[in-house]
Amino acid sequence: MRDLNKEQLELQNPEPCLVKVQLFEGPLDLLLHLIKKNEVDIYDIPIAKITEQYIEYLEFMEVLNLQFAGEYLVIAAELSLVKSKMLLPKPVIEEEEEDPRAELVRRLIEYQVYKDAATDLVSRDVLGRDVFKREYIDTSFELSEEVELIPVDLWSLIEAFREFYKRRSYLWAEEISIEAESVSIDDKIEHVMMRLQDNRQLKFEELFDDCSSKFDFVITFLALLELARTENVDVVQDSPESAILITYSGEAHSGSF
């Protein structure tokens, strides 16, 4: 390890940039890899050996300047715990004592089940890779050329919201229950985006269809403002008196994941 460290450090830039590469899907994946590599029985994992290799691996990732998440350390701690339990002198056998490794093995096997299921899924004839279907262009939402849409300015939008908010205020006039809302603006933005992707276009008022509280109304409106600011949506109307329309304007959002 030491020599490698030195060599690797020399290769590094003076200002190392952190690279996020997923060499393994996660700590369990790494463990499964080590079990396979060492050709050991999953029901009889040589914990000391595997733990050592696991930690070596983490060290190596550090040397390579790869970021690894805290989850790797959680499993490292778990491994060390199991290792120490294995080292403890066994008490006089009274009952069938559970192997300290049992829980870890159960998790590894469960994870492997789903890894295999994922492999099975992707080995099917996948749409967009092996098979294709008719690409249909839905024209029903394409507005006719003649209608000149005008962008709605911020004040008109706020005015529209104020009016709408007043009209709907009866909804929560009697509201007494206090509920801790867990929805953040980000969640709401996500939610509004999903609705717009489904519908491509919504009327301003439709946006609030599923709002049940004052808080919900306000946060939905803030989400709309944010989406308009980041140009993920267009806010338009075909005349100053007509309904305000919210249209989805592309995939700019996908980059953030």
Closest-CA residue to 168 (of 222, 213, 219, 225): 213
Toward another protein, which CB reaches closer, 55 or 193?
193
Give the β-pairing of 245-248 and 201-203: antiparallel
User: Which residue type occupies 43?
Assistant: Y
DSSP-based three-state secondary structure for 131: strand
Give the β-pairing of 233-237 and 150-151: antiparallel
130 binds another protein (CB under 8 A): yes
212 to each of 168, 188, 205, 208, how far by Cα in Å? 10, 13, 14, 9
For 160, other C-beta atoms within 10 Å of its C-beta total: 18
For another protein, the binding residue among 133, 140, 145, 240 (CB under 8 A) is 133
- Pair 104, 76: CB distance under 8 Å: no
Toward another protein, which CB reaches closer, 32 or 202?
32
35 binds another protein (CB under 8 A): yes
CB of 220 to another protein, least distance (A): 16
Q: Is 223 exposed, middle or buried (0-12, 13-18, 19+ CB in 10 A)?
A: buried
110 binds another protein (CB under 8 A): yes
117 binds another protein (CB under 8 A): yes
DSSP-based three-state secondary structure for 127: strand
CB of 166 to another protein, least distance (A): 30
Toward another protein, which CB reaches closer, 133 or 166?
133
112 binds another protein (CB under 8 A): yes
Per rule CB under 8 A, count of chain residues that contact another protein: 53
For another protein, the binding residue among 73, 126, 143, 147 (CB under 8 A) is 126
- Segment interacting with another protein (CB under 8 A) among 33-41, 46-54, 86-94, 208-216: 33-41
Alpha-carbon span 121 to 116, nearest angstrom = 9
229 binds another protein (CB under 8 A): no
- Segment interacting with another protein (CB under 8 A) among 55-63, 93-101, 127-135, 161-169: 127-135
Residues contributing to the site for another protein (CB under 8 A): 22, 25-28, 32, 35-36, 39, 41-43, 69, 71, 74-75, 107, 109-122, 124-136, 138, 182, 190, 193-194, 197, 253-254, 257
